[in-house]
Structure formats: structure tokens, C-alpha cells
Amino acid sequence: MKEVTAKEVLILLENKIETGQYNDSVHKITLMTARDVIKKILATEF
């Protein structure tokens, strides 16, 4: 199994949000929150 980087997860999340690959508005907000948290961690910790 390949290890996935935070940047790869970020790209995946952004793609899912942009292409509408979510179940409902709550799922979309969850994806957006995860994306924002990852961005903040990458910007402040590294």
C-alpha cells in the first residue's frame, strides 16, 4: 500500500468538491472543513 502525502489528499478533496463527488450538503461541508484544516496545517507547521 502506497503512503499518501497531505498534498495528495488536499488535491483529492479539492477535486471531489469541484466535481460534486459528495452525498449531500453536509458531506460537502465536511470535505471543505477537512481541506481547510489540511491547508492550515501545511501553512503553519511546515
- Report pLDDT digits (tens) over 4-41: 999 999 999 999 999 999 999 999 999 999 999 999 99
- Grid cell, residue 45, equals 507547521
Look at residue 8 in the predicted model and tell me its pLDDT.
Answer: 96
Look at residue 46 in the predicted model and tell me its pLDDT.
Answer: 75
| Interatomic CA distance for residues 33 and 37, integer angstroms | 6
pTM, two decimals, is: 0.85
pLDDT over 90 (residue 45):
no
Report the 10 Å Cβ neighbour count for 35: 18
Residue 10 neighbours by CB under 8 Å, 6+ apart: 35, 38, 39, 42
DSSP 46: -
